[in-house]
Structure 1
Amino acid sequence: MTNERRNDTQPEEFDLVVLGSGEGSKYLAWTLSKQGQRVAVVEQRWIGGSCPNIACLPSKNIIHSAKVASYFARAKEFGIETPGYTIHMEKVIDRKRAMVKGLVDIHRNNFKNSGVDLILGRGYFVGPKLIQVDLKEGGTRLLHGKKILIGTGTHAALEKVPGLEEAKPLTHIEALELDTVPGHLIVLGGGYIGLEFAQAMRRFGSRVSVLDRNTTLLHREDADISTGMESLLRDEGIDLLLGATVKQVAGISGQNVEITYQQGGETKTLQGTHLMVTIGRTPNTAGIGLELAGVELNARGYIKVNERLETTAEGVWANGEVAGSPQFTHIAFDDFRILRDNFSGGHRTTTGRQVPFSMFTDPEFARVGLSETEAKTKGIAYRLFKIPMAAVLRTRTLSEMRGFMKALVGEDDRILGFTIFGVDGGEIMSAVQIAMIGNLPYTALRDAILAHPTLMEGLTVLFSSAPTAVDPKSSKETLRKSR
């Protein structure tokens, strides 16, 4: 890692210059550098990107602490008597920080051992394929790359609501550093980040209210998922204010805040101690000189790329969230593989790739492939297999019977999609995804000998159940016997 001030007027030459050290960017940099290419990575703040520092892994660390807290709250259910327990939020955060430090140290070593020139500072275009870096320690460097990769990511969006910015609301970054339990946390937005944090903070002892402009949570998903998630959160004591549009915010988060909102034609107010905003993401494209590089944005403000992740400027690529890729770390990693192969003369694209995801509430919600809503919208006929999680005997040993799993199967017996709302849902989904990747018929899972009692054994139960045939062109749904 070098950050020395350079006084040369001529730019330093590299085979690849990367803006941002996130998932796809770092792996490409490491790979090409190990192949003998000269690579520079410019990182403004988070070495290794958001996932190990302020997103996926830190949040799951805290969510797991909240899971442990929930077990203490349920101790009597498991035959354990305890006089009570105390949440030391500062120790929860210390555990998270220790993990993050370890991950960042690993990243530093990977950059060093791969030979990548990791440059800490703010990078921006000053011409085609020409990057200036205002170094963190002072001074500047001028870099020219035969190839340029933009991986600057996104940041939390703030709506233009009177008083919202002045209230200094928490985003996920600040929420991950809360060393005290909020008295009353108000969460604006009922998406993945908001609901994961809402449940975790509730389990730590905070009163929590979630405001969402939509009339259902996870409104793009099937109705049974929305209903299941709402029931879960309400059972845990979280206030859900749905169909609520925020009109004004007063106060300062961390002290006291008051939200004025409209719901059902009425104007209402809600007071709390902390305010968290999770209403979406904004691409990090401002102030990096894209117009000087010939890089255009699409209608949504993301960098315009084709299926090969090429921008409108020759020799410039973009990957990850800033390129409009689905906002998951595993998709950014696949962006790396696309770029790696194409840089070697291949022709790999983003077209038609699977986008699995898991929402780490407890229980988890996970899906891969088509949902029922999507299948009906596209006019795709399917057979629906669906069972409650209670039908999977392992859940009874765990006292984790909430939820269900379901699968959509086509006429050729191939699995079109799988959805689960249940314990370890992401792990179970991945098993089905592997079957889908192998184009296996559902009968391969139905007839498999899976260990008992395991959660994965539930797939045999699922695909042995009686399916419902659904034809989007007909209002009739009929039961069919499994083949």
Structure 2
Amino acid sequence: MEDFDLLVVGGGKAGKTLAMDWATSGKRVAMVERGMIGGSCVNVACIPTKALVASARALRTLRRAHRLGLAEVPRADVELLREHETGVVDGMVKTNRKQFRDSGMELVLGEARFTAHRTVDVTLDDGGSRTLRGDETVIDTGTRPLVPAIPGLADAGALTSDTLLRLDRLPESLVVIGGGPVGLEFADMFAAFGSRVSVTVPGPRLLPAEDEDIAEAVTAQLTASGVEVHTGRHVASVERDADGRAAVMLSDGTALMGDDVLVAVGRHPVTAGLNLAAAGVRTTDTGFILVDEHLSTGVPHTWAAGDVAGSPQFTHVSLDDYRILKANLAGDFRSTRDRLIPHTTFLSPELARVGMTETEARAAGYDVRVAKLPVAAIPRARTTLETEGIWKAVVDRDTERILGVALLGAEAGETLTTVQTAMLADLPYTALRDMIITHPTMSEGLNLLFAALQD
């Protein structure tokens, strides 16, 4: 048995950052990883998808070149797209590997399985095995795409957000099952690349976590980009015809035809092979590790972080989990409670949100005031001809504090940080309404948005 000050099982954002931090400080650290150097964000999630989102956005900008006084009309090339995506990913993987090595931590590539509290046997990728034990142990194995038990889905070779990135061609047609952020990002992206895209969801609308008016605006935006949206019908079955095309059969008998099918209905935790019972670690019915607000599993000196611990599935949340773990391992009592978590769905233009929706605020008993602003009213949007979208803010009438915003429009994710900062500082909405902001910028729209509050 090999003893370490810290044993990290899984190299997600929280785990790898903590491992490097401890190793740099001189502690003996081992991190076991199945093979994704840098975690899923670098390899199959945030980084490769946003690299392709950048390509899709550039393509859309260039296609309106004539309106900007330019003449070239580009097209998507799958080899160049792959070169761009893999170049970004390979560069970040190389950087992560160097950071791991320079920190002094021991990177162990293989499959870990708990045999006792804070103890794992690792089946090494290059053969053999090792037994590792940590004085402190952190589990950060992440999640994988969920593939539901739809008849014929597996046999039809359905793609996930992981495998879609490996396509060696651009499909002429693509059917997306799922109307959440991941499915819609791919739908929007492939529509820009020239694919005919259909999206189907069983519920009444896309993005059920958003207010209805925001979801409707996103649907209109996607429809204008050529995406066909089907709501209110579940997928009954999937099959390939004699020509190799996939038929996605809906519950009302409608058949959606596509060269490929993408399943984007959520993610499930990577815990099945860990033998967590031997570690004394409990999970939910769906396999997520049970932790308290301090990320403790309840087993002494055993912690979990990131997606596998049920944290909101964003890399920036996993980074905050690292901060919490670092503090608590040093004897502090930091908590996940009441975190103000922003998120952005990278459409063209993007949807960024922080805080409560109007629906959530009213359900919580707030007396709210609501402001809406068409993006076309922002001078910067007019100069770039990116006038699609709408901004929405929800304010507590009694305290004048901002409860939440949803920004659908160009550069929304960047603008959102200003609102988040105001919320964290507990400033009244008037601080943003009256703030002197550089003209012409998208952030200047915050002056206009909060001046439009309704009584």
TM-score (norm 2): 0.97
Corresponding residue for residue 3 of structure 1: none
Q: CA deviation at 1:79?
A: 2.7
Q: 1:258 to 1:42 in 2, by over 3 A?
A: same
Corresponding residue for residue 403 of structure 2: 416
Contact 1:167 1:252 (8 Å CA) reproduced: no
State the aligned residue count: 454
Q: 1:119 to 1:246 in 2, by over 3 A?
A: same
Contact 1:253 1:273 (8 Å CA) reproduced: no
Corresponding residue for residue 229 of structure 2: 240
C-alpha separation in 2, matches of 1:426 and 1:333: 18
Corresponding residue for residue 7 of structure 1: none
Query: Structure 2 residue aligned with 1:44, among 23, 34, 39?
Result: 34
Corresponding residue for residue 293 of structure 1: 279
C-alpha separation in 2, matches of 1:406 and 1:203: 26
C-alpha separation in 2, matches of 1:272 and 1:177: 18
Moved more, 440-449 or 116-125: 440-449
C-alpha separation in 1, matches of 2:371 and 2:218: 20
Letter in 1 for 2:300: E
Q: CA deviation at 1:406?
A: 1.9
Corresponding residue for residue 93 of structure 1: 82
Letter in 2 for 1:22: G
C-alpha separation in 2, matches of 1:144 and 1:370: 43
- Confirm whether residue 229 of structure 1 aligns to residue 218 of structure 2: yes
Corresponding residue for residue 196 of structure 2: 207
Contact 1:185 1:208 (8 Å CA) reproduced: yes
Moved more, 111-120 or 307-316: 307-316
Q: 1:242 to 1:385 in 2, by over 3 A?
A: same
C-alpha separation in 2, matches of 1:88 and 1:416: 44
Corresponding residue for residue 10 of structure 2: 20
Corresponding residue for residue 476 of structure 1: none
C-alpha separation in 2, matches of 1:47 and 1:253: 40
- Confirm whether residue 270 of structure 1 aligns to residue 222 of structure 2: no
Q: Find the residue that maps to 1:41 and give its secondary structure.
A: strand
Corresponding residue for residue 388 of structure 1: 374
Unaligned runs of 5+ in 1: 1-10, 469-478
Q: CA deviation at 1:179?
A: 2.8
Q: CA deviation at 1:254?
A: 11
Q: CA deviation at 1:252?
A: 8.6
Q: Find the residue that maps to 2:166 and give its secondary structure.
A: coil
- Confirm whether residue 148 of structure 1 aligns to residue 148 of structure 2: no
Q: Find the residue that maps to 2:283 and give its secondary structure.
A: coil
C-alpha separation in 2, matches of 1:366 and 1:204: 23
Query: Structure 1 residue aligned with 2:114, among 125, 128, 135?
Result: 125
Unaligned runs of 5+ in 2: none
Letter in 1 for 2:134: G
Corresponding residue for residue 58 of structure 1: 48
C-alpha separation in 1, matches of 2:418 and 2:170: 37
- Confirm whether residue 258 of structure 1 aligns to residue 238 of structure 2: no
Contact 2:352 2:406 (8 Å CA) reproduced: yes
Q: CA deviation at 1:317?
A: 0.5
The alignment's C-alpha RMSD in Å is 1.4
Query: Structure 2 residue aligned with 1:434, among 421, 426, 431?
Result: 421
C-alpha separation in 2, matches of 1:113 and 1:172: 32
C-alpha separation in 1, matches of 2:338 and 2:189: 35
Q: Find the residue that maps to 1:336 and give its secondary structure.
A: helix
Deviations, residues 228-250 of structure 1 (Å, cap 9, x unaligned): 01101111111111112111111
Corresponding residue for residue 32 of structure 1: 22
C-alpha separation in 2, matches of 1:384 and 1:249: 43
Q: CA deviation at 1:86?
A: 3.1
Corresponding residue for residue 77 of structure 1: 67
C-alpha separation in 2, matches of 1:328 and 1:444: 29
Query: Structure 1 residue aligned with 2:178, among 189, 194, 198?
Result: 189
Corresponding residue for residue 471 of structure 1: none
Q: CA deviation at 1:403?
A: 1.3
Letter in 2 for 1:133: V
Corresponding residue for residue 108 of structure 1: 97
Contact 1:155 1:281 (8 Å CA) reproduced: yes
Contact 1:189 1:277 (8 Å CA) reproduced: yes
Q: Find the residue that maps to 2:344 and give its secondary structure.
A: strand
Q: CA deviation at 1:268?
A: 2.0
Q: CA deviation at 1:299?
A: 3.5
Q: CA deviation at 1:364?
A: 0.7
Letter in 2 for 1:285: T
Query: Structure 2 residue aligned with 1:425, among 409, 412, 418?
Result: 412
Query: Structure 2 residue aligned with 1:375, among 349, 361, 374?
Result: 361
Q: Find the residue that maps to 1:14 and give its secondary structure.
A: strand
Q: Find the residue that maps to 1:362 and give its secondary structure.
A: coil
Q: CA deviation at 1:77?
A: 2.1
Corresponding residue for residue 320 of structure 1: 306
Q: Find the residue that maps to 1:21 and give its secondary structure.
A: coil
Corresponding residue for residue 357 of structure 1: 343
